[in-house]
Structure 1
Amino acid sequence: SSAWLDGQHGLGPPLATAAMGLAAHKAARHGLGAVSLQNGNYVGALATYVEAPARDGFIALAMANATPRVAPHGGAAGLHGTNPVAWAAPTVDGDPLVFDAATGHAAAPIVQAADEGRPIPQGMALDGEGRPTTDAGAAANGTLLPVGGALGYGLGLLVDVLTGGLAAAPMGREVPPVTTVNGPYGCSFFALVIDPQQFGASGTLAARISELCASARQTTPAVGVDEVLAPGDRALRTRAERLQEGIPFSSRAWQGLLQRLIAADLDVSSVP
């Protein structure tokens, strides 16, 4: 019911897809399937990988570790990565219940805020001297903070244990900073798939999860809130909008991407 894979520094998305597929295969046979992957690469949004098993009636969990930019709770230097966690469960409504979030505040919104000259909310990052800051520029050169303080810290460490730890691969500060690596940086991935049919929820879980989601959406909104959503609702709406209208890209971000491609000696002459 378990497997240990060596990604040999291949592309992250196909490696993660293969690991999750193997975990689902093992869950179908044994009730549980757990797969750890070493020598991987950046895998992108974890929701991509847990959604497919959930559509087949499984419960799926995915984790990935990353370069150590997030400080431990109360600390001022990076210990682990943003270390995301995603899970999905089946429903009878077509789309599964999906949750995908990082355990540490992500760098991308901070960089975007710095580019646009906007402040960031308190509690996201420290500056280069370890002081709390709302200055996005200072935060971009500082340290990220765990989401929810001690909660994000503990969950972030759990991700490192289940990814790098189980895979006998780098974890915590052993993962090299992306800025110092010219090539693969050896992050790890963990997939867990559960077959509800092997437990007491046989035949009823999907319907009960749909009822749970409906109950969440029917909750009276707090003052200033338009509606209460179930995890994944906003992402489904955004996906539909993007498929219909395209993906918005600011001119500044587009030019920045082109400069990175040029710096990597890639031909952009045919790119508008």
Structure 2
Amino acid sequence: MKEQDVHSPWIAAFAALFLWWFSTGAILVVVRLMERRGEAARRAVVVAALPVMGLGIWGYETTLGAGSAGAAYGAFLSALAIWGWIELAFLLGVITGPNAHACPADVPEWERFVRAWGTLAFHEILLVAVLGLMWATGAGAANPTGLWTFTMLYAARVSAKLNLYAGVPRINVEFIPAHLRHMASHFRLRRPGWVFAVAVTGLTLALACWIERAIAAGDAGALTGHALLAAITGLALLEHWLMVLPLPDAKLWRWMMPAPKQDKRPEGPHGF
């Protein structure tokens, strides 16, 4: 393979697609395997995965001053590692929020919002804290790929949560583990509104920005970094459109997932 091919924006885009798909699938497999285990076992998995977070922090700090294409890939992987550990802790129910109850159907809107916030407050606080530390150490660095990767992941995740809360036509709850099923009671099935319009407009503008910067890049590192950011932003935009379009997105991971164990306990009024 020629050296210029290694720095191709298309290779970077496909690498981002694969890394996103693989890391998401790996987290979902672990969550499925631990779904019917006790809280202590889930906490042990999160602690055992701490080296992934440590490697992500080390990689992020190490690549900040390097402007090569390899450093851009390293920064991207590091941001995914940090993000992945936090998501694993969330999906295993270790870092979520103080509210673990389903939302009644007849509560006023302000109470519904407070209840929804309570289901993931600790997770959101951790994300904001990590994002703040990353900006404090990485703003103005020669290689901002890791910083912007985490920033785009955070912005897209907040946008997706707001859309689930405000209401969208399609909501996939297939991969929500049993210990987080109460969160689905805070979702709304309805036609998309202004929240969705603002979200897809913002993500589209961000995607156009990364593509423009990739085209104007003067070196391989900047080209690779902006191509990776364009790919992850495009995936976030696609994720939003999948809340509206009737496409079987769950098939991307269902084939690799272990079969769920049947829960023989009786379902409550908010069970699935």
TM surpasses 0.5? no
- Structure (1/2) with the larger strand percentage: 1
- Structure (1/2) with the larger helix percentage: 2
TM-score for the superposition, normalised by structure 2: 0.24
